[in-house]
Amino acid sequence: MAKIVIDPVSRIEGHLKIEAVVEGGVVKEAKSSGMMYRGLENVLIGRDPRDAARIMQRICGVCPTSHGLTAAFALDELYGVAGAIPDNGRILRNLIQGANYVQSHILHFYQLAALDYVDVTAVADYAGNDPALKQVQEFIARGHLGPFVPRYEGDYRLSKEENRAAVAHYVEALNMRRLAHEAVAIFGGKMPHNMSIVAGGATGEVTLDRIAAFHWKMDQLLGFIDNVYLPDVLMVARRYSDYFGVGAGCKKFLSFGVFDLDSDPDLTKRKRYLPQGIVRADLTLNRVEPEKITEEVENSWYAGSGPLHPYEGETIPDRDKAGAYSWVKSPRYAGEVLEVGPLARMLAAYAAGDRQVRGAVDGVLGEFHASPSALFSVLGRHAARAIECKVVAEKCKEWVLQLKPGEPGCADFPLEVTARGMGLHEAPRGALGHWIVSEGGTTKNYQAVVPTTWNAGPKDGKGVPGPIEQSLVGTRVRDQRNPFELVRIVRSYDPCLSCSVHAVTPRGEELGRFVVEGA
């Protein structure tokens, strides 16, 4: 018996540690440990609730639009304006979020996950004239291999030409991400941390020039998705087809739904392009009941006990808690472990009978003569993310043409409230919920249950592992010094642990305490 410790897992957002106990070459037990404390909810206590749409974007620099929009959904309910969002405001929210989805998915495959499958050293003896490959070749010659190393060795299966093409696309993807960021900024004002999304809608000005600019950028991005991203995912899948049988996990999924098609004040009834639902292994779709959502901290570095609904949730750090091993909490739905993310959304849309999604998913499965159960895997998650990137980009091109210059994008609302509000949404990485309680016009409690909390959480009070932990158990590790299998599984979830703002020394010493006047 041996223990593999990967600390930190590189090429993800934030700091994640993975421990795996291996016996006979097979993982018998796994621990997923989030090593960063997120206390941003506590920053909102005592502040004007409207600050949430700005401050909560600082949870993450990769998907700030998701947090800003989910906070806005919670504020819509808090201020009683959820059913009055103007069409322009609803569409602007979809466009800002959609462009961020495209950016995030391209980032994940090329800059974060692809290097698990692509051998960059194939560029070393390149004799052609591709400027991207020549640039990478020059880095290699100078010994400047970051961000391509450090890496594990021993399981690169692409041909030399396939590796070179993938490296060139890695560089091209950087420009595509920039283009998607620019698309966000057209209606969001800037990226990251847009200024347009607010309670009641969105404030971005709608003009013919902006509509044309957004449409053009999305058209360029769609060309990259169709001609580069999707073919590259299929190329990797053909060479690593055994990964359709690796990393299955809990095989139960949660989607809150995303991209509003109406403004029903009840988020559980609101019509969304990608639907809400609980998906089982048999691809049945069941409605979401938000009151069944809880978080546990039995094995997390937080004070407290027992499952708590987010409205009653607490964020009280306890670093010395006995038996705890993660700063991530353990979300559950009616006590069940659920996976969230692009795979959950594509499965929900597939189960709901969406023709576009069904056609794309069946097309990929047909390439490998596989059934839908093959989606419960490492490659299933990559395929779902690429398919979603395509359908979202296509919808954004449609939605931007529905905007009406000169019409309002935001509804007015009263400021004095004593109430609470819930925002249910989907970040690129999965189901995202924000819950706010207000008293006397200020925030009394705020809780955010983020996608990687669902996926990377530790064991709950019953000893049941979270989705990533379950995906690792049963995995055969060929070379314990190069545990490719483990990092490929973890990165297929696109974990994001960067949900915190900190300033510490390498030894964890306190730098100082500050009082900011006027805050």
**158-173 pLDDT per residue, tens:** 999 999 999 999 999 9
pLDDT of the residue at 462 = 96
Q: Which residue has the tokens 């959609």?
A: 98
**Strand ranges for 151-269 from DSSP E:** 197-198, 201-202, 253-260
CA 102-105-111 angle, 5° bins: 125
Mean pLDDT, residues 177-199 taken together: 96
- Provide, rounded to the nearest whole percent, the portion of the chain with pLDDT above 70: 96
Distance CA 59, CA 499 (A): 5
The amino acid at 469: E
Dihedral over Cα of 180, 109, 158, 365: its sign: negative
pLDDT of the residue at 501 = 30
Q: Does pLDDT of 291 surpass 50? A: yes
pLDDT of the residue at 519 = 33
How many Cβ atoms sit within 10 Å of the Cβ of residue 425? 25
Mean pLDDT, residues 106-133 taken together: 94
Distance CA 385, CA 33 (A): 24
pLDDT of the residue at 305 = 81
Q: Does pLDDT of 284 surpass 90? A: yes
pLDDT of the residue at 505 = 41
pLDDT band at 38; cut points 50, 70, 90 = confident
Closest CA to 249 of 217, 279, 294: 279
Mean pLDDT taken over the chain: 93
pLDDT of the residue at 498 = 67
pLDDT of the residue at 499 = 47
pTM for this prediction: 0.94
Q: Does pLDDT of 500 surpass 80? A: no
pLDDT of the residue at 507 = 52
Higher-pLDDT residue of 353, 37: 353
